[in-house]
A and B are shown apart, each in its own frame.
Chain A
Amino acid sequence: MDQASETFWSSITGSSPLLNDYSSFSYLFLGIPLIVGAAILVGMHVMRRIQGDEGLARGAVVAASGVLILAFGLFAASVFTLFSSERTRTDFIAHHQPPPGEHWLQVFDFTLPADWSEERRQRYQELTGDLVAAMSEVLSEDLPSEFGPSRVLHIRDDENPWRDPVDEKNFAAVMDELHASQIMWGKIGQRDNVLTAFLGISPRIANGLDTVVPLYGFSLSDNPRLDQQFGDAYYHLLGLVSLGIALDNYQRAQQSAGEERRRLFLLAAQQFIGARELANNRRNDTVLQKTLYSSQVDDMLDDALNQSGR
């Protein structure tokens, strides 16, 4: 494709974000002018007829009606799209909620610099695939059975039913809809191509812990398996996922009653200790000090032991 054609096509496809911006206006905002405009047109026509005039010129009525029908059609199409995207989101949520007793870590596609070429995006997709595979392998091989089944799910941008990419602003709402305990997202630096990942802990279970945990940065030229399976990220992943499972059970215990409450507190206490033992080799790590080895977890552990009967 020559330069001129490329510019032409990019200007066409580039209008899509603009339309997206307008589509974020509320349907009430779009619908009211449509109704008011139609009412004024019909009103003027009727008034003129009452006053004995012929009303608006036939051509004007036809043209205006055509515009109104077109506008109404677009409005209806927008409403249909809204319902359709709502349905897509509902279906997505239904398929991406962990079943009871399972822990899923959903990894959303990282936000890429806008000026990346298709080739770089393709390379990124391959690396993300490797990263998620490495994370899955760590959890399936090395997370002890006392933490129950766990999965790592990669959610690609084209699957993401939310309008915006997941980030620090909307992660809590996304987690709430997904009933997720932990999700991961990230962004790639425009200049340095370094990926910075974040782990979101659901405010529902955080109990005073930071809900956004900045994890690490790694260069896209590195093999993702290097750090995930042989480096510090291994301990971050194991320690934080096992902490998430313990927090989830602690929260469930708080909401339970009777014997089940006591059982869940016992389970949470065992899991808090087990999580700390898993990451013991990096217990002085900054990320883990603020989370797994924090005073908040000390307090929860004490409480869980007390509530389970000591």
Chain B
Amino acid sequence: MKSTPRFLCFLLVCLLLPHGAAAVELIDPRHAKERGAGDGAAVKLVSMEFEAVGSDPRAKQRAKDLHKEFLTRIQELRGRTVVSFVHPPGEKVDHFRKLAQGVAKREQAQMVLWGSILVDSDGTFLIRSRMMLNPPPPGVRTEYLKSPQIGAAGGTTVRGMIDAPVTQSRLDFGTMDNEILALVQFVSGVLRYYEATARAGGDAVPWLKGSIADFQSYLEVTSEKMDRSALSQARLYIARAYVRLADAEPAHAAEHLAAGGKEAGKAASLNPYTPDAPTLQAVISARTHVAFDQVEFYLARAARLAPTDANARVNLALVQSAQGKYADALHQLDQAAWVQQLQNQTPPPALLSLRQHLAAFGKTAQRTQSD
């Protein structure tokens, strides 16, 4: 099952009780700390020499050349730490993914890249690349304030949040022919995005724009037939960068969010199975004041695509409570607590406390309506 180590990174709910009752505020103790590489730490990438599949010496030579070429191109990123890893000659590797994880852990690198090369009968070099992000860079999030309509009886104002983390920690690229330029652009885009998330305000702007430019270059040279899933990921990173740009450049927020919304929509079409796309669409919709029904629709879709992700369910529960759908919200919170227990995690007290308050509001709302 998909783990949710980032569950409830932030949960801030301020519920103003109807009829002038006392305000209740629940604050997740972790909310002030953003996840991921952050904290100004330098981003580190381990680049492993690709495995030459088969005995063709051309593949071995090409693997060495590509490794050098990749390092040369990626080193152009000023100030980055790139670690080169070459397997000792003659050593048989049973499991490249495990090896890559081990090397990345030892080097304390957030990114690790490896892959394999095969020469086909026409002499074309077929390249398959893999990348792991540990931890993935921070995603985006948004707060909202919503007063649902509960008729004449008044309303309950909910200050909630939609958390849209990057849940994809592994990227298995489709087969590339001969060239690795596209791969360099993708990796560079992720690197710059990581860097941007470690900076605040205007300092992040050049990194975000650089990341968008890298991913745009990737989109230009990669076809949908070749790698639909990676294209979707690239567009998701672009959309996240635009959302962050909207914060960094408030004067251009509307245009950045519009651009981000388009990219997230295209990402959802390219990969209709990734929950990251609808969650991001919900964030952008909430920020552009789209009808809350639409926000709820996106979050319900995300929860459906990630049924074992408690975070997705809490996002949905809060929006449902803001819509006055207390029973649905309670159900989602119960499901969130249940999936956490299945993953041997203890539901945080903030979640349990929120559940109690929602249950109380549900009863109050029912009484108010029947009165």
Contact = CB atoms under 8 A, between A and B. Distances in A.
Interface of A: 140-142, 144, 146, 222-223, 225-226, 229-231, 263, 266-267, 269-270, 273-274, 276-277, 280-281, 283, 305, 308-310
Contacts of A305: 304, 307
Interface residues of B, number: 37
Given A141-B96, A309-B335, A280 B118 contact: no
Contacts of B96: 141
Interface in B98-130: 116, 118, 120-121, 126, 128, 130
B188 interface: no
A308 B332 CA distance: 12
B1 A270 contact: yes
B95 A141 contact: yes
A269 B339 CA distance: 13
B228 A223 contact: no
B80 interface: no
Nearest to A263: B342
A42 B298 CA distance: 89
Contacts of A283: 228
Interface of B: 1-2, 53-54, 95-97, 116, 118, 120-121, 126, 128, 130, 170, 172, 174-175, 227-229, 232, 271-274, 304-308, 331, 334-335, 338-339, 342
Given A229-B53, A308-B307, A267 B1 contact: yes
B218 to A, nearest CB: 16
B228 A280 contact: yes
Given A225-B118, A229-B116, A267-B1, A277 B229 contact: yes
Contacts of B170: 144
A294 to B, nearest CB: 15
Given A225-B118, A229-B116, A309-B335, A277 B271 contact: yes
Given A223-B118, A276-B273, A281-B229, 8 more contacts: A226-B120, A266-B308, A266-B339, A270-B306, A280-B271, A305-B307, A308-B307, A309-B334
Q: Which 5 residue pairs spanning A and B have beta carbons closest together?
A: A277-B273, A230-B126, A230-B175, A276-B273, A280-B229
Given A229-B118, A310-B335, A281 B308 contact: no
B87 to A, nearest CB: 15
A225 B229 contact: no
Nearest to A265: B307
Nearest to B227: A281
B273 A273 contact: yes
The interface residues of chain A, by DSSP majority, are classed as: helix
A3 B335 CA distance: 77
A226 B338 CA distance: 44
A120 B338 CA distance: 58
A303 to B, nearest CB: 13
A266 B342 contact: yes
A263 B121 CA distance: 48
Contacts of B120: 223, 226, 230
25 contacts: A141-B95, A142-B97, A142-B130, A142-B172, A144-B170, A146-B1, A222-B121, A225-B53, A229-B128, A230-B120, A230-B175, A263-B342, A266-B1, A266-B308, A266-B339, A270-B2, A270-B306, A273-B273, A273-B307, A276-B273, A277-B229, A280-B229, A280-B271, A281-B228, A309-B335
Contacts of A309: 331, 334-335, 338
Given A226-B126, A269-B307, A140 B95 contact: yes
Given A141-B97, A142-B172, A280 B2 contact: no
Nearest to B335: A309
B1 A230 contact: no
A298 to B, nearest CB: 12
Contacts of B271: 277, 280
A230 B229 contact: no
Nearest to B225: A281
B116 to A, nearest CB: 7
B331 A310 contact: yes
Contacts of A230: 118, 120, 126, 128, 175
A277 B116 contact: no
A310 B308 CA distance: 10
A187 B175 CA distance: 28
A272 to B, nearest CB: 10
